[in-house]
Amino acid sequence: MERRLNLEDVGRRAGVSRSTVSRVVNGGHVSSETKRRVEAVIAETGYRPHAAARSLASNSTGVIGLVIPSAAGTLFDDPYFGRLILGISSATNEVDMTLALFLFGDGPDERSIISRVVTPGLVDGVIVTATTRGDPLIDHMQGTNMPFVVVGRPDNAVSTFCVDVDNRAGARTAALHLAALGRSRPALIAAPSNTSAGIDRRNGFLEGLAEAGLSVEDRIAEGDWSQDSGRIAMARLLGGQPDSVFVSSDRMAVGALRAVSEAGLNCPRDISVVSFDGIVPPDLTTPRLTSVVQPVTEVGERAVRLLTSVIGGASTTPEHVVFPTELAVRESCGSTAQARPGA
């Protein structure tokens, strides 16, 4: 197989030096005549610069890593990560960078993969998501000088760049909505309390309830994000005769809805449900789910933009971007109102 073309070869064919070719490739200053000639050679030869060589010389790889720890099998059953990846991918495409995906469960090789992420000369920076409280990954990243931003709200948020949605405000809105509907025995299906989203949604909901003079008392359960955990939690909660429930994620809400109908009850008549995510297609459930919508794709895009600015040195002091959520009112809450902005 014939040797790959390099800058030197292209230069020779165009009658210029390799530096000149490099300049036309990278948009340096070149006379328009030379430029034309060089570009012609590039077009006819199909020359493409060698990525590794370029990375080595320029000390920049053009790839950003996306790290998702504890990628349990169930991870991708939730549309959340797909959407996030879509947002991140489209943003990296836009800035002409490549996306490297680091998924790992907690096998024995976890450490080795973590260290692969910070291998010099592999990626320019990384986006970390789906971390849990006290996740060693973030501490580890802080110990390196690899630029990174986290999607979510890490423990020590003050010292890291991060982009998140306002889980707390969104959940508070849900509580207020339920209260406004006249429901007085609210229940809560929380998300794992070792995640920032789980904590914030729980606190926000309780806060909203308190403002309305309500309380969950013992009508509270915790799911693990899975649909089935939502069903189980709801089944248990039903014993407390709630007239409404805030479920911390759409997927768990689908399970909760199922538990409600399995118990022979009707949603929204007997029990009003509001969930969080706005990610399950409305028509998938009966009744259609009222949900606090979070802009997942935008979060992903923003994370990339923030990261590139950190990499470029433009952003230097830790910055937090927080996206607002929006309450999409549908039938499951028992309101007759149409979907409308909120929160």
Partner DNA sequence: CTGAAAGCGCTAACAT
Partner DNA sequence: ATGTTAGCGCTTTCAG
340 is a contact residue toward DNA (CB under 7 A) = no
Q: What are phi and psi of 94, to 5 degrees?
A: -60, -40
- Give ∠ CA 27-32-37 in degrees, rounded to 5: 90
Shorter beta-carbon distance to DNA: residue 74 or 115:
115
Query: Choosing among DNA, a copy of itself, none, which partner's interface includes residue 116 (Cβ < 5 to 8 Å by kind)?
Result: a copy of itself
Q: Of 13, 25, 188, 293, which one interacts with DNA (CB under 7 A)?
A: 25
Spatial distance between the Cα atoms of 290 and 330, rounded to a whole number of angstroms: 5
- For 235, the token pair is 């089944």
Task: Tell me which of 12, 13, 23, 237 binds DNA, using CB under 7 A.
Answer: 23
CA distances from 14 to 2, 90, 126, 163, 165 (A): 20, 36, 39, 48, 53
241-263: burial string, b at 16+ Cβ within 10 Å, e else: ebbbbbbbbbbbbbbbbbbbeee
Identify the three-state secondary structure at position 261: helix
Decide if residue 121 touches a copy of itself (CB under 8 A): yes
Q: Which residues of 307-337 are buried (b: 16+ CB within 10 A; e: fewer)?
A: bbbbbeeebeeeeeeebebbbbbbbbbbbee
| Member of 12, 15, 19, 51 binding a copy of itself (CB under 8 A) | 51
If you count them, how many residues does the chain have?
Answer: 343
Query: What whole-number distance in Å separates Cα of residue 336 and Cα of residue 181?
Result: 10
Spatial distance between the Cα atoms of 48 and 127, rounded to a whole number of angstroms: 28
Distance CA 203, CA 133 (A): 16
User: Nearer Cβ to DNA, position 8 or 109?
Assistant: 8
Looking at the Cβ atoms of 72 and 122, the one nearer to DNA is 122
Q: Which does 312 bind (CB under 5 to 8 A by kind): a copy of itself, DNA, none?
A: none
Is 323 an interacting residue with respect to a copy of itself (CB under 8 A)? Answer: no
Quote the CA–CA distance of 274 and 1 in Å, as a whole number. Answer: 62
Q: Does 148 bind a copy of itself (CB under 8 A)?
A: no
Cα end-to-end distance, the chain, whole Å: 62
Instruction: Please state whether beta strands 161-165 and 244-247 pair in parallel, antiparallel, or not at all (unpaired).
Output: unpaired
315 is a contact residue toward a copy of itself (CB under 8 A)? no
Amino acid present at 135? D
Q: Which stretch binds DNA (CB under 7 A): 15-23, 100-108, 280-288, 330-338?
A: 15-23
d(CA 84, CA 47): 34
Q: Are 82 and 300 in contact (CB under 8 A)?
A: no
The 51-80 contact track toward DNA, x by CB under 7 A, reads --xx-xxxx---------------------
Please choose which of a copy of itself, DNA, none residue 263 contacts, taking the beta carbon within 5 to 8 angstroms, the exact cut-off set by kind.
none
User: Please, what sign has the CA dihedral across residues 275, 278, 279, 281?
Assistant: positive
Site string for a copy of itself, 233-272 (x = CB under 8 A): ---------------------x------------------
* Token duo for residue 290: 């009222």
Q: Which does 93 bind (CB under 5 to 8 A by kind): DNA, a copy of itself, none?
A: a copy of itself
Among 71, 157, 235, 322, binds a copy of itself (CB under 8 A): 71
Region 203-232 residues binding a copy of itself, contact defined as CB under 8 A: 227-228, 231
Of 2, 12, 13, 33, the one binding DNA (CB under 7 A) is: 33
120 binds a copy of itself (CB under 8 A): yes
Give the one entry of a copy of itself, DNA, none that residue 112 binds, where binding means its C-beta sits below a cut-off of 5 to 8 angstroms depending on kind: a copy of itself
Q: Which of residues 87-146 bind DNA (CB under 7 A)?
A: 121
Does 28 sit near DNA (CB under 7 A)? yes
Q: Which residues bind DNA (CB under 7 A)?
A: 3-4, 6-8, 11, 15-20, 22-23, 25-26, 28-31, 33-35, 49-50, 53-54, 56-59, 121
